Amino acid sequence: MNIKPLFYRLLILICILGTGVGKALYAQDSDSLYVTSEEVETPKQVTVNNIFIVGNEKTRKNIILREMDIAENMTYNWDEFVALVAADQKKIYNLQLFTTATVTPLFVGDEQVELLVSLKERWYILPSIIFNLADRNFSEWYSNQNRDFSRVNYGVKLDHNNIGGRNEKLRVVGQIGFTQALLLNYTIPYFDKNQLHGLAARFNYYTNKNIPVRSIGNKQYFFKNANEDILLQSLNASLTYSFRGSFYNFHYFTAGYNDTRIHEDVILENPNYFTHEGQKLQYFLASYRYRHDNRDNVAYATQGTLLDASLTKYGMFGNDDINELEFSIMASKYNRLGSKFHFATGISGSAFFSDHQPYTLVRGIGYKPNFIRGFELNVIEGQQLIAHKNSLRYELLNVAFDISSFMPIEEFSVFPLRLYLSGNFDHGYVRDANRLPLNAQYTNKYLAGYGFGLDLIGMYDAVFRFEYSVNNMGAGSFFINVKAPI
């Protein structure tokens, strides 16, 4: 039996009862503090005597304290303290290590508080069966690919999201089906005492017998030969160094290697598949990425800001098969409009600095993370693009069900459920310098889409979106997607 949580609770209770003036405060919805006993006059400042953390059966204390601005034996003016408590609670939850995270200040004197961080850990080791669609989204598979079950990936995946209690993440994937793949990914957020520097290593190998070789009519054209030979095999490896100098700002420096080989029949279908002669594409790459993330919930935000920008150089040496430079950016803003409404808006874009790229690097509307509602069935490819997405959302439901009576695993004993009704409007533009006639319907034109949707957020912040959208070309349909759109 772990006696630490009990000891901390008893210690705080003794402090409160001993002073006779204990008054508990609770950070509700991460926004404000409410007095749970009789109303009292708020002090001008408070001193934090101790920070107690309970519920972290595996996660190390220093990982949690790394997310907190508030420190022991520090004095704060009242308004600053209230804001810091709310912000620290959000940051701890956004580690995505806990199903609940509550930061509760407790008065033990007129201007003295103890801080209680109460946590409920997630289930960290998640073996799972892979059974997913190989296509860009459900609607692409359902409509364009005629619900073809041969386009399904299946296999096994193991995620360990908190190795050693230090928020290290390990993913191992073995996959067959439409795409045969092996993936190894390991991330350690901090390897130094001051928790500023981290590393990530990634290895990925995959093969395909059926691949998109071009787009026709702004839709992917897939090809497989009569013998069902492997048409593409690709090996990718990378090492990323990360630096987190402040709570919300991250810097990533990546060095990587790519080796992609294709069957000769692919060249017959698209002589410009690699933009150079030969059946292989080998190159080293280097990239810098900056990320500012100050959202209340990284899976489905209702308040805060996000900025993610990167610059990538493909081809570092003279014998590399490519020499390309790409810039990409994503910026989002989330504003609460009262207790039930919030508005989300975001811009995403990317740009290559030449007019021809290998098809494996082609970007456009329809490829993650760039899309416009109403064009889910299309890919609009080009060298430069911009998309502006907007959603006004209303919270229909926000509940949590206790299912412990038939769910013996504590980490799954509470089932949260949130529902949002959304009104959406997206627009954007894709520039194709080559003005390919087969895709001229949507490239180099203003694109817009609008409609309504229902967003469902469930256990472990899983997101499902059900939307009906119409685009400015007159096409409308019902679409199913996963993950938040902005």
For residue 345, the Cα-to-chain-centroid distance in whole angstroms is 16
Q: What percent of the chain has pLDDT over 70?
A: 92
Q: What is the pLDDT, as a whole number, of residue 5? A: 41
Query: Phi first, then psi: what are they for 12, rounded to 5°?
Result: -65, -40
To the nearest whole number, what is the mean pLDDT of the chain? Answer: 88
| pLDDT surpassing 70 at residue 341 | yes
Residues 35-63, mean pLDDT to the nearest whole number: 82
Residue 259's nearest CA partner among 201, 318, 323, 204 is 204
Distance CA 190, CA 199 (A): 7
pLDDT at 371 over 70: yes
Among 371, 384, 356, smallest CA distance to 443 is for 384
Nearest in space to 416 (alpha carbons), one of 102, 100, 56? 100
* Same CATH fold assignment for domains 4-120 and 125-482: no
Q: What is the pLDDT of residue 38?
A: 43
For residues 66-90, average pLDDT: 94
User: Does the pLDDT value for residue 456 go beyond 70?
Assistant: yes
CA distances from 45 to 17, 72, 102, 110, 335 (A): 22, 14, 22, 9, 29
At 469 the pLDDT is 96
- Helices marked H in 168-263 — which ranges? none
> Under DSSP, is residue 239 helix (H, G, I), strand (E, B) or coil?
strand
Per-domain residue ranges for the chain?
Answer: 4-120, 125-482
Fold adopted by 4-120: Ubiquitin-like (UB roll) (3.10.20)
- For residue range 171-193, list pLDDT tens digits in order: 999 999 899 999 999 999 999 99
Looking at residues 11-18, what average pLDDT do you find?
Answer: 37
**Burial status of residue 267 (CB atoms within 10 A of its CB: 0-12, 13-18, 19 or more):** middle
Which pLDDT band, with edges at 50, 70 and 90, does 453 fall under? Answer: very high
Whether 405 has a pLDDT exceeding 80, the answer reads yes
Q: Is the pLDDT of residue 301 over 70?
A: yes
How many percent of the chain have pLDDT more than 90?
A: 71
Dist. CA 97–CA 159, nearest whole Å: 13
**Contacts of residue 192, Cβ cutoff 8 Å, sequence gap at least 6:** none
Q: What is the dihedral of CA 136, 137, 143, 146, to 10 degrees?
A: 70
| Closest C-alpha to 132, from 181, 95, 98 | 181
Q: How much is the average pLDDT of 142-159?
A: 87
pLDDT band at 29 (very low <50, low <70, confident <90, very high): very low
Q: Quote the DSSP letter at residue 41.
A: P
Instruction: Say yes or no to pLDDT of 52 above 80.
Output: yes
CATH number of 125-482: 2.40.160.50
- Given this model, what pLDDT does residue 40 score? 54
**pLDDT at residue 398, as a whole number:** 93
Which of 114, 117, 115, 118 is closest to 19 using CA atoms?
114
Q: How confident is the model at residue 219 (pLDDT cuts 50, 70, 90)?
A: very high
pLDDT of 432 reads 95
State the pLDDT confidence band at 446, using cuts at 50, 70 and 90: very high
- Looking at residue 144, its pLDDT comes to 86
Q: What is the pLDDT of residue 20?
A: 33
Q: What pLDDT was estimated at residue 23?
A: 33
Q: Give residue 207's pLDDT band: very low, low, confident or very high (50, 70, 90).
A: very high
Pick from 480, 476, 428: which is nearest to 451 by CA? 476
Choose the weakest-confidence range: 113-122, 217-226, 274-283, 402-411.
402-411
Per-residue confidence band for 11, with pLDDT thresholds at 50, 70 and 90: very low
Residue 10 has a pLDDT of 39
* Among the ranges given (147-151, 378-382, 433-437), the one the predictor scored with the smallest mean pLDDT: 147-151
Using the predicted structure, report yes or no on whether residue 229 has a pLDDT greater than 90: yes
- 8 Å CB contact between 294 and 250: no
Average pLDDT over residues 454-466: 91
Terminal-residue alpha carbon distance, the chain: 44
Q: Do the strands 363-365 and 249-262 form a parallel or antiparallel pair, or are they unpaired?
A: unpaired
Q: In this model, does residue 292 exceed pLDDT 90? A: yes
Q: Please, what sign has the CA dihedral across residues 31, 36, 38, 41?
A: negative
- For the cut 80, the answer to whether the pLDDT of residue 324 exceeds it is yes
